[in-house]
Amino acid sequence: MATDIVLVCGVDEAGRGPLAGPVSAAAVILNDKNPIQGLADSKKLSERKRDLLAPVIRERALAWSVAYAEVEEIDELNILQATLLAMKRAVEALHIRPHQMLVDGLYCPKTEIPGQAIVKGDSKVAVISAASILAKTARDELMLKLHEQFPQYGFDLHKGYPTAAHLAALREHGVSAVHRRSFRPVRELIRKFPNGPHG
């Protein structure tokens, strides 16, 4: 009987470490009757492989959603709380209500659905791997759009992570509206150049 089926959603995030842009989270309920080959932790897959898998996950999953916490929320709440907020939004946006959620990491977002946090879950549990791929590819796509608005920072190359090139661009051009002011390299730059790098 259909009532015997336990619907499990996997939840993961992308973009906790960058200095710019939102943090994303995805929630996915896979269809056991339509399995997907090649699921793995998004960080261990090439960009090409992630880009190939993402549409397959969206097509074959019983339900999926992606949600964000914006830069202002990250600065106001802190990155952990903002990440949990993005996860909560993703789970609550699913059009099918799961019975259980499995979350990558140490913490579960507060929802009415029973949850279990699994350390390195994105490399151990297929449904969390699927969520990690959707969260990562959606955020990368968003960072490409931000690159069009702020081409001087090179978001298309580093997606907001604190690479040497990104830090150099920050020193040269100052802090943009999409930079996380609570993150140390950005905070220190603002303190050093309160009127911008050329002020």
> What is the rounded distance in angstroms from the CA atom of residue 166 to the CA atom of residue 158?
7
State the pLDDT at residue 199: 41
pLDDT in tens, 158-197: 999 999 999 999 999 999 999 999 999 999 999 988 777 6
- How high is the mean pLDDT of the chain? 95
CB atoms within 10 A of CB 30: 24
State the pLDDT at residue 64: 98
Classify residue 154 by its DSSP letter. -
* Residue 102 confidence (pLDDT) above 70: yes
- Give the CATH architecture of domain 2-139: 2-Layer Sandwich (3.30)
User: What's the pLDDT band for 18 if we cut at 50, 70, 90?
Assistant: very high
The mean pLDDT value for 65-87 works out to 98
DSSP one-letter string for 80-127: HHHHHHHHHHHHHH-SS--SEEEEESS-----SS-EEEETTHHHH-HH
* Residue 71 confidence (pLDDT) above 50: yes
> What is the rounded distance in angstroms from the CA atom of residue 11 to the CA atom of residue 148?
29
State the pLDDT at residue 3: 56
pTM: predicted TM-score of the whole model, two decimal places: 0.94
State the pLDDT at residue 116: 98
Task: Break the chain into its structural domains and give their ranges.
Answer: 2-139, 151-192
Strands across the sheet containing 63-69: 63-69, 23-29, 8-14, 100-104, 115-118
In one letter, which amino acid is 184? R
* Residue 198 confidence (pLDDT) above 60: no
State the pLDDT at residue 197: 65
The mean pLDDT value for 4-19 works out to 94
> What is the rounded distance in angstroms from the CA atom of residue 39 to the CA atom of residue 53?
8
**Between 64 and 2, whose confidence is greater?**
64
The mean pLDDT value for 38-43 works out to 92
The mean pLDDT value for 137-166 works out to 97
Q: Which two tokens stand for residue 85?
A: 């907020």
